[in-house]
Amino acid sequence: VPVVILMVIAIFSFRLLFAYNDMPKPYMTVKATGYQWYWGYEYPDQKISEITSVPLKKEEAAAKGVPYLLAADKPLVVPVNQVIRVQVTGADVIHAFALPAFGLKTDAIPGRLNETWFKADTIGVYYGQCSELCGVEHSNMPIEIHVVSQADFDVWVKSKTAPPAAPATAAAPATATVTPVATAPASAPAAAPAAPAV
């Protein structure tokens, strides 16, 4: 009987495992890199270079009314109802990219690129954390994801890819106009005094 139970569990487990790895065609790819102790997000499809996402300080989190140790200064932004492929790696030690709301936990291993995916069907803010002991600040590696509408995502992408505004050039100084001044003709030299009479 125990063997039969284990076989039944194995059948359902393998089905779920293969289904999890069977990724639908992704709308976009995000590369998440774990560092000691923050995350970096890169959007290769949108030509957005790595964005550093660090945890908010306690005072900043309190001022914004967001959870301390879960909120980050620059969240990962993705569109709603789209398949998002996440490529996960580590830059120094082993980390783990974990999002409980999406059922995700993928190891971030230096020199290796792991893949996972998710599809969020509700607009909102979601939180996760590094789930692999990675050092003294392990508990201070939050993952904050903003799921937004497609229109808002497009606006966000434009804000990240727009070329920086050129600095304003100083106006050229006005050319001075010189008005010639008419001068009176030089008078003839005075006549020499007459010689005294002898």
pLDDT tens profile 127-181: 999 999 999 999 999 999 999 999 999 999 999 998 876 665 555 455 544 445 4
For residue 72, give the DSSP letter.
B
Q: Which helix (H) or strand (E) holds 145?
A: strand 142-148
What is the dihedral sign for C-alpha 120, 85, 116, 72? negative
Q: What CATH number does domain 24-161 carry, 3.90.1150.10, 1.10.260.40, 2.60.40.420, 3.40.190.10?
A: 2.60.40.420
Average the pLDDT over 79-106 and give the result: 97
More confident residue, 69 or 180: 69
Q: Which amino acid is at 15?
A: R
Which parts of 26-141 fold into alpha helices (H)? 58-64
- pTM beyond 0.85, yes or no: no
Whether residue 194 has pLDDT greater than 60:
no
Residue extents of the structural domains in the chain: 24-161
Within 10 angstroms of residue 67's Cβ, the number of other Cβ atoms is 13
More confident residue, 55 or 193: 55
